[in-house]
């Protein structure tokens, strides 16, 4: 399996990061994506630092909407430079968050748009974070020629269909294991298998039966099993399909100096 989104740079793993990575390997996680938003600008290399020192990781770079107010012109120039790193597979997580509003909404929209421009000009996939900002997020994506991942999707079937119409993959995390997430369950049953990814978003949103604990990549098996149960297929089929989907989306595999293992 591939964990398409985790934050192993988080301080929650400072005491046992190497052990956490080993548990993931023992659980059959062949690859993890270290999402490189970290604590925001000027540090844009949180994911790269992990990917550079661990063969089981690739990375993203990006400015999270929470940190949009920290971005400067130098931030965007540096993001373009970092996209050339051989282990950087996407720009993210980027988007809009109107729940917390840690950065002003107009600033979030401007920083999101600038990063969409960068992704489009470099033909790189993006990883979207959206919370209570669905319509604005979709509208801005539509204005750009980009593809990518709707990270930690928690929406309904109509929103899933909008996501697919954008040409995006839908990534399911621990929330799909929650008993009361009935609208999400409906979407998880309906999304075509060739458009699904799985993730942990570790250390956040641990799946049932680990809910309430610190999440980690090894727990992705519970998300995969719940998706399999919802769709009436085996967990092996979920693992195979989501890994194939990930490799299809990420452009570095098979190229000289590829970051992704064959």
pLDDT of 259 higher than 60: no
Tokens of 63: 């400015």
Mean pLDDT calculated for residue range 139-143: 97
pLDDT of residue 258: 44
pLDDT of residue 112: 98
Across all residues in the chain, what is the average pLDDT? 95
State the pLDDT confidence band at 212, using cuts at 50, 70 and 90. very high
pTM of the model: 0.94
State the pLDDT confidence band at 251, using cuts at 50, 70 and 90. low
pLDDT of residue 262: 37
How many residues does the structure list for the chain?
Answer: 262
pLDDT of residue 243: 97
pLDDT of 13 higher than 90: yes
Mean pLDDT calculated for residue range 233-239: 98
Higher-confidence residue of 252 and 148: namely 148
Q: How far apart are CA 150 and CA 169, in angstroms?
A: 6
DSSP SS3 for 183: helix
Q: How far apart are CA 81 and CA 60, in angstroms?
A: 13
| Beta bridge partners of residue 20, listed in sequence order | none
Q: How far apart are CA 96 and CA 109, in angstroms?
A: 7
143 neighbors 112 (Cβ within 8 angstroms):
no
pLDDT of 77 higher than 90: yes
Mean pLDDT calculated for residue range 108-124: 97
> Could you give the percent of the chain with pLDDT greater than 90?
95
* Biggest CA-to-CA distance, the chain: 49
End-to-end CA separation in angstroms for the chain: 14
**Contacts within 8 Å (CB) and 24+ apart, 71-80:** 71/41, 71/111, 71/114, 72/41, 72/42, 74/42, 75/41, 75/42, 75/44, 76/114, 76/115, 76/118, 78/42, 78/44, 79/44, 79/115, 79/118, 80/118, 80/122
pLDDT of residue 255: 38
* pLDDT tens-digit map of 41-73: 999 999 999 999 999 999 999 999 999 999 999
CB neighbour list of residue 117: distance below 8 Å, 6 or more residues apart = 144
pLDDT of 261 higher than 90: no
Tokens of 24: 């993931």
């Amino acid at each position: 399996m591939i964990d398409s989104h985790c934050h192993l740079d988080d301080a929650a793993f400072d005491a046992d990061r190497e052990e956490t990575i080993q548990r993931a390997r023992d659980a059959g996680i062949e690859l993890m994506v270290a999402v490189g938003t970290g604590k925001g600008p000027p540090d844009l290399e949180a994911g790269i630092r992990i990917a550079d020192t661990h063969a089981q990781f690739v990375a993203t770079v990006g400015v999270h909407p929470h940190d949009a107010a920290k971005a400067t012109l130098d931030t965007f120039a540096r993001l373009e430079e970092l996209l050339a790193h051989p282990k950087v597979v996407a720009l993210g997580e980027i988007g809009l968050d109107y729940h917390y509003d840690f950065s002003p909404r107009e600033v979030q929209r401007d920083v999101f748009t600038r990063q969409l421009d960068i992704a489009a000009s470099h033909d790189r996939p993006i990883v979207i974070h959206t919370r209570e900002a669905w319509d604005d997020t979709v509208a801005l994506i539509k204005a750009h020629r980009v593809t990518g991942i709707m990270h930690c999707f928690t929406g309904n079937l109509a929103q899933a269909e909008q996501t697919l119409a954008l040409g995006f993959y839908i990534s399911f995390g621990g929330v799909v294991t929650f008993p009361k997430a009935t609208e999400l369950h409906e979407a998880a049953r309906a999304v075509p298998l060739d458009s699904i990814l799985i993730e942990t978003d570790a250390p956040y949103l641990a799946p049932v039966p680990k809910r309430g604990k610190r999440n980690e990549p090894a727990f992705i098996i519970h998300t995969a099993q719940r998706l399999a149960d919802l769709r009436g297929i085996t967990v092996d089929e979920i693992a195979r399909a989501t890994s194939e989907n990930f490799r299809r989306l990420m452009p570095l595999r098979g190229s000289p100096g590829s970051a992704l293992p064959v």
